[in-house]
Amino acid sequence: MLQLENITKRFFAGTVNERTALDGLNLKLGEGDFVTVIGSNGAGKSTLLNVISGRYTPDEGQVTIDGRRVTRQAEHRRASRVGRVFQDPMAGTSPHLTIEENLAIAFGRGQRRGLGLAVTGSKREVFREELKSLELGLENRLQMRVGMLSGGQRQALSLLMATYAKPAILLLDEHTAALDPSRAELITRLTGEQVARHHLTALMVTHNMQQAIELGNRLIMMHEGRIVLDVDEKAKKNTTPEHLLEEFGKIKGATLSDRTLLD
């Protein structure tokens, strides 16, 4: 579903500040895989997601999504195949647009945006049904501007907007990190539900060890732009946060993200 071959991405190349964010990284995700990603500060986790989504173009290597090479394809062009939820709850929605207009933007992904009405009666029915799955009562507030919603509500909406068009790959970038524990739990549960419902292939960056172990069927650990540990479904069931920490200690000079949560 997703294949990264030998991806290298450098920032500030040729200056004293040159930094290699991704260093010959290889990763292959099969259909329906749900992979959690942990790693130290500056390990290249966010850069990895940005290379997949098309926000960054890698210096070397190939990105293949759903059998198509998209290495140099612009972000908006591959958007129909890539869904993304950001850490910042404000990032995934448009505050001055209403809930239904935000959904219209998301549901029109991959289609031509013409001069037909963005929100019609029949679409509104679909929106209402979809919003009900969030269990936040948003289905009764279609005409409310998204800027009036709480961070948790906006993140739930972002999740719906990222998953509805059934992307080939769903990217989750520490998307529960900015929320309070109960909201984070809700978003985590909704994420599992949406992924299962649409049979999505997903890549989730998290700094929560417990979450990294509980969610998904595979766990990878990154350090200095490379994957240093790859735990499959079977091994993942038996692993613990302490064990992961221990693994991390084996890597010279590596410290886990200072925001790491053990549980």
Partner 1 sequence: MVIAAELGLIYAILAIGVYLTYRVLDFPDLTVDGSFTTGAALSAVLIVSGTPIWVALIVSIVGGMAAGVVTGLLHVWGNINPLLAGILTQIALYSINLRIMGKANVPLLRQSTLMTPLREAGLLGTWGAVAIFAVVVAIVGAAVYGFLGTGFGVAIRATGDNELMARSQGVNTGVTKVAGLAISNGLVALCGAFMAQYQGYADISMGIGLIVAGLASVIIGQAIFGMTAVWQAVLAAVLGSVIYRAVIQLALNAGLNPNDMKMISAVIVVIALVLPQWSVFKKIRHRRRRVMAAEAV
User: Where along the sequence are the contacts to partner 1 (CB under 8 A)?
Assistant: 53, 74-77, 79-80, 82, 84, 90-97, 101-102, 104-106, 108-110, 112-119, 141, 144-145, 148, 161
Structure tokens at 237: 């069931």
**Distance from the Cα of residue 209 to its chain's centroid:** 17
* Backbone φ and ψ of 121, nearest 5°: -60, -45
Q: Say whether 166 sits in a helix, a strand or coil.
A: coil
Cβ 160 to partner 1 shortest distance, Å: 12
Helix (H) / strand (E) containing 172: strand 169-173
Cβ 161 to partner 1 shortest distance, Å: 7
Cβ 80 to partner 1 shortest distance, Å: 6
Cβ 128 to partner 1 shortest distance, Å: 17
Looking at this protein, which amino acid is placed at residue 209? M
Q: Which is nearer to partner 1, 38 or 161 (CB)?
A: 161
Cβ 116 to partner 1 shortest distance, Å: 6
Q: Which is nearer to partner 1, 118 or 251 (CB)?
A: 118
DSSP, res 7: E
Residue 176: count other Cβ atoms within 10 Å of its Cβ: 26
Q: Which is nearer to partner 1, 54 or 216 (CB)?
A: 54
First to last CA, the chain: 31
Cβ 164 to partner 1 shortest distance, Å: 10
* Backbone φ and ψ of 127, nearest 5°: -60, -45
Q: Which is nearer to partner 1, 32 or 110 (CB)?
A: 110
Q: Which is nearer to partner 1, 144 or 254 (CB)?
A: 144
Cβ 101 to partner 1 shortest distance, Å: 5
Looking at this protein, which amino acid is placed at residue 240? T
Cα–Cα distance, 13 to 3 (Å, whole number) = 25
Q: Which is nearer to partner 1, 94 or 239 (CB)?
A: 94
Half-sphere exposure of 14 (CA within 13 A, CB side): 0
**What b/e sequence results for 3-20 when a residue is b if at least 16 CB atoms lie within 10 Å of its CB, and e otherwise?**
bbbebbbbeeeeeeeeeb
Q: Which residues contact 214 (CB under 8 A, 6 or more apart)?
A: none
Q: Which is nearer to partner 1, 164 or 248 (CB)?
A: 164
Cβ 263 to partner 1 shortest distance, Å: 31
DSSP, res 115: S
Q: Which is nearer to partner 1, 112 or 234 (CB)?
A: 112
Structure tokens at 23: 């260093």
